[in-house]
Amino acid sequence: MPENSDDFYKNLQGFNEFSKVTDLRLYRHLPDDWCIVLTDITGSTKAIDEGRYKDVNMMGAACITAVINALPECNIPYVFGGDGATLAVPASATTAVKRVLGATRRLAQKQFGLDLRAGLVPVRDIRDAGADILVAKFQLSPGNFMAVFTGGGVQLVDTMIKAVEGNDQYQISFPDDDEPPDLEGLSCRWEPLKSCRGTMMSMLIYATGKTQTENLMIYREVIEGVEGIFKSDPKAASPVSAENMIFKWPPLGLRNESKLFAGTPHRIRKWFWIYGTSLIQFFLEKFDLSTGGYNAPVYRKELRANSDFRRFDDTLRMILDCTHEVTEVIEAFFMDLHTQGKIAFGIHHSDHALMTCLVFSLAKGEHVHFVDGSDGGFTMAAVQFKAQIQAASKGLSK
């Protein structure tokens, strides 16, 4: 199988221990004729101040859903970022990706009043600019994978897209037609996840070493350090637990879900279907019942396993349910590494986490769940993170 095949990602071997994201042997170079797609919400901080972070999360997840549904025969690497997403797509799919993401941008503007930025950069351009893109597969559970990226390319793409605003070199524009994106499978029906231990801690960590090898060693030090602080399996600190998973009717996120289908044919019928199926789901969850492919106890167990509370795309992102004592130890640990010049980091505390779900097949247990802190989560953590990066840059320039 040639490396530039559209089946490149499908053929990668997955791993199931998160600490292995630092093992360079598990990564493969993304083919030159693939592209990196990056999306984010412009002015997301303002939307958060207005209490609209669920809207922001929903549109970040919508970008992933739109691309996956547009390319059903292709395995797509992706990472959810809170207010956006990182994806890799083969060259053969770029026309379709640009159209559906352009349509998603328009949906974000019309239905949510959000400015969704989207850009697509060829891997060849990234390498010509001096960075690289390597990808591996982290297995949440059998059949459910999240991509992890390293090589510095994702950070460079962010700069490349934002540096050419007003220029359409990498920007994805609105499509000429009015066809909405296919967002089937995307939902947000669970209540916000209340912290069981004290606080939901959203963390961004960026290694500032001089080489890729050095940076991966730093990330390993961070991951092992956090695991050592918990003195147990870090999954025990997952923000999604049996204690805080609550399903009410009508769900708080149902209005957002219905907006996703505002421009689709038969949208009234779709609206009734959303409310009807959520009511059925409410009774199944309340009484631990099953029907069709939905088994409430099994689904909840799978959901906890398939939540993406740890991610890696040139930046390590974690959201953990911590006691206040543990948060103090973690913050001191990060500050020590920052003082040593090893990392820049950002932290945000909240009482709850938010979860957005992407369901492929209930019968096969194929579904993933994107988690972020409420009240801003990773976006607010990025404020501290960017301030540290900026301060470091000024120090180097003196």
pLDDT in tens, 153-174: 999 999 898 875 555 789 999 9
Considering just the CA atoms, what is the radius of gyration of the chain in Å?
20
The CATH number of the domain where 92 resides is what?
A: 3.30.70
User: What's the pLDDT score for residue 133?
Assistant: 96
Tally of domains in the chain: 2
Same domain, 35 and 138: yes
260, part of any domain: yes
44, part of any domain: yes
In the predicted model, what is the mean pLDDT of residues 312-336? 96
75, part of any domain: yes
User: What's the pLDDT score for residue 150?
Assistant: 96
Can you give the residue range of the structural domain that contains 272? 254-301
Same domain, 18 and 161: yes
In the predicted model, what is the mean pLDDT of residues 335-348? 96
Same domain, 180 and 258: no
Same domain, 177 and 266: no
pLDDT in tens, 273-303: 999 999 999 999 999 999 988 999 999 999 9
Vertex 307 angle, CA 305 and 309, to 5°: 120
With a pLDDT cut of 70, the percent of the chain lying above it is 95
Same domain, 131 and 263: no
Same domain, 120 and 36: yes
pLDDT in tens, 219-262: 999 999 999 998 766 678 999 999 999 999 999 889 889 999 87
Last residue of a domain, one of 185, 201, 236: 185
195, part of any domain: no
The tokens for 213 are: 């090898």
Report how far Cα 46 is from the mean position of its chain's Cα atoms: 20
With a pLDDT cut of 90, the percent of the chain lying above it is 79
The tokens for 323 are: 């006691």
Q: Output the average pLDDT for the chain.
A: 92
Query: Residue 6 pLDDT > 60, yes or no?
Result: yes
356, part of any domain: no
Would you place residue 268 in the very low, low, confident or very high pLDDT band (cuts 50, 70, 90)? confident
- C-beta neighbour count of 228 within 10 angstroms: 12
Same domain, 181 and 258: no
User: What's the pLDDT score for residue 263?
Assistant: 75
Last residue of a domain, one of 241, 266, 301: 301
Would you place residue 397 in the very low, low, confident or very high pLDDT band (cuts 50, 70, 90)? very low
Q: In this predicted model, which residue has the larger pLDDT, 213 or 45?
A: 213
Same domain, 49 and 144: yes
69, part of any domain: yes
| Tokens 């953590």 sit on residue | 381
User: What's the pLDDT score for residue 362?
Assistant: 87
Last residue of a domain, one of 185, 209, 228: 185
Would you place residue 309 in the very low, low, confident or very high pLDDT band (cuts 50, 70, 90)? very high
Report how far Cα 274 is from the mean position of its chain's Cα atoms: 24
319, part of any domain: no
Q: Are 353 and 192 in contact (CB under 8 A)?
A: yes
User: What's the pLDDT score for residue 295?
Assistant: 94
Whole-model pTM above 0.85?
yes
Same domain, 180 and 262: no
Q: Provide the 8-state DSSP code for 17.
A: -
d(CA 275, CA 255): 10
| DSSP string of 298-333, one letter each residue | HHHHHHHHTB--EEEBSSEEEEEEE-HHHHHHHHHH
Q: Are 223 and 19 in contact (CB under 8 A)?
A: yes
- C-beta neighbour count of 269 within 10 angstroms: 11
- C-beta neighbour count of 309 within 10 angstroms: 25
Q: Are 213 and 24 in contact (CB under 8 A)?
A: yes
Query: Residue 93 pLDDT > 90, yes or no?
Result: yes
- C-beta neighbour count of 394 within 10 angstroms: 9
241, part of any domain: no
* E strand or H helix that includes residue 336: helix 324-339
Give the SS3 label for residue 201.
Answer: strand
Give the SS3 label for residue 105.
Answer: helix
d(CA 95, CA 224): 42
Query: Residue 398 pLDDT > 50, yes or no?
Result: no
User: What's the pLDDT score for residue 358?
Assistant: 95
